């Protein structure tokens, strides 16, 4: 048995263990825990037990756990650092893109989002490029199909309606007589059930000229007792436009008869209005289709003659 000096203050031996002495046969020099011949804890070459009772073997799991935890924390720190670097790069790229976008538009003033352009249709042959005090234009009559009316377009202002008034029907449009005969054949009073409709209404300064007239059922023109169309008629929308214009709106207003093939009586009317208030905000705005139906439910624009051909067409009055 070998002996060595021990220092309680240092908690370790101050002299080396004598492996080559009495302890040479114990193989302590080859053991990783006892190979330190000055150590006292795990390096106790006799019993591996400290003076306070700790045994070095119990420390192995603890050391292993601490090592694993340290590895996990290290990996987590690396992952977080990588994520932070990625996000930082993304933010820098986004800021650079916005900066470049601002640089590209610095010379262009930002548009005012509150104001909308006033109604301005495409210029026509009379060089009218905007409402001005207002105007009305009628489409060319369709010579290939009985000279039927094609459309009405108006840019209406309060000043225009004050200075211009509509006129009554001057001549009956193509197909008007046929429509009255058809209504009579359905047991209806022709005069009360068939009208010559203004495409741009009389109330909106529309004229009673053939380019602005087409045969229509009374229920399509105005409110009619017994009509299935109820309030869905042209006059209701004309009144809406009139009210908007007189309130100060500039209103772009269009009406187009819709035809089925070569017939001269329409199946109904496409109506639209778009208004701008004096402050630039949107005013009246609608797009509707008014069917051209008698109170019997028959549409005047979809009829066939006895031979199965569309009617009326061409020069049929």
Nearest Cα to Cα of residue 244 among 179, 164, 161:
161
User: In which domain, by residue range, is 215 found?
Assistant: 135-291
Q: What is the pLDDT of residue 82?
A: 55
72/78 Cα distance (integer angstroms):
10
- Quick check: is 222 in a domain? yes
Going by pLDDT thresholds of 50, 70 and 90, the confidence category of residue 37 is: low
Q: What is the pLDDT of residue 105?
A: 44
- Quick check: is 47 in a domain? no
Q: What predicted TM-score, i.e. pTM, was given to this entire model? A: 0.61
- Quick check: is 28 in a domain? no
Q: Which residue has the tokens 């059922």?
A: 217
Q: Phi and psi for 103 in degrees, rounded to 5?
A: -65, -35
- Quick check: is 127 in a domain? no
DSSP string, 14-31: SS---TTTTTGGGTGGG-
| Residue 83 token pair | 């994520």
55-98 pLDDT, tens digit per residue, is 445 444 544 454 445 544 454 455 445 544 654 555 455 545 54
Q: What is the pLDDT of residue 88?
A: 52
What is the number of domains present in the chain? 1
- Quick check: is 185 in a domain? yes
Please check the confidence at residue 189 and state whether its pLDDT lies above 90: yes
- Quick check: is 188 in a domain? yes
282/109 Cα distance (integer angstroms):
23
- Quick check: is 89 in a domain? no
What is the CATH classification number for the domain harbouring 197? 3.40.570.10
Q: What is the pLDDT of residue 63?
A: 42
Range with the lowest mean pLDDT among 78-87, 211-220, 288-297?
A: 78-87
Q: What is the pLDDT of residue 15?
A: 62
- Quick check: is 181 in a domain? yes
């Amino acid at each position: 048995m070998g002996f060595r000096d021990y220092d309680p203050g240092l908690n370790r031996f101050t002299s080396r263990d004598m492996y080559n002495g009495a302890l040479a046969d114990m193989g302590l020099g080859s053991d990783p825990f006892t190979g330190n011949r000055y150590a006292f804890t795990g390096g106790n070459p006799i019993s591996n037990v400290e003076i306070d009772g700790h045994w070095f073997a119990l420390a192995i799991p603890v050391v292993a756990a601490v090592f694993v935890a340290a590895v996990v924390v290290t990996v987590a720190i690396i992952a977080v650092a990588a994520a932070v670097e990625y996000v930082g790069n993304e933010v820098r790229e986004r800021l650079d893109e916005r900066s470049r976008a601002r640089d590209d538009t610095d010379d262009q003033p930002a548009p005012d989002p509150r104001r909308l352009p006033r109604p301005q249709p495409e210029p026509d042959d009379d060089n009218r490029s905007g409402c001005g005090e207002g105007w009305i234009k009628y489409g060319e009559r369709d010579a290939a199909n009985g000279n039927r009316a094609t459309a009405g377009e108006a840019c209406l202002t309060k000043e225009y309606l004050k200075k211009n008034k509509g006129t009554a029907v001057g001549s009956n449009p193509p197909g008007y007589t046929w429509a009255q005969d058809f209504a009579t054949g359905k047991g209806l009073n022709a005069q009360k059930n068939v009208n010559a409709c203004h495409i741009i209404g009389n109330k909106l300064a529309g004229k009673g000229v053939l380019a602005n007239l087409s045969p229509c059922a009374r229920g399509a023109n105005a409110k009619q007792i017994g009509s299935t169309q109820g309030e869905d008629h042209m006059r209701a929308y004309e009144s809406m436009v009139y009210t908007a214009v007189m309130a100060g709106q500039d209103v772009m207003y269009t009406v187009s008869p819709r035809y089925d093939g070569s017939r001269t009586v329409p199946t109904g009317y496409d109506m639209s209005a778009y208004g701008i208030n004096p402050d630039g905000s949107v005013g009246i705005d609608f797009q509707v289709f008014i069917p051209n139906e008698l109170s019997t439910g028959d549409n005047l624009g979809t009829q066939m003659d006895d031979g199965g051909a569309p009617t009326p067409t061409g020069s049929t009055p």
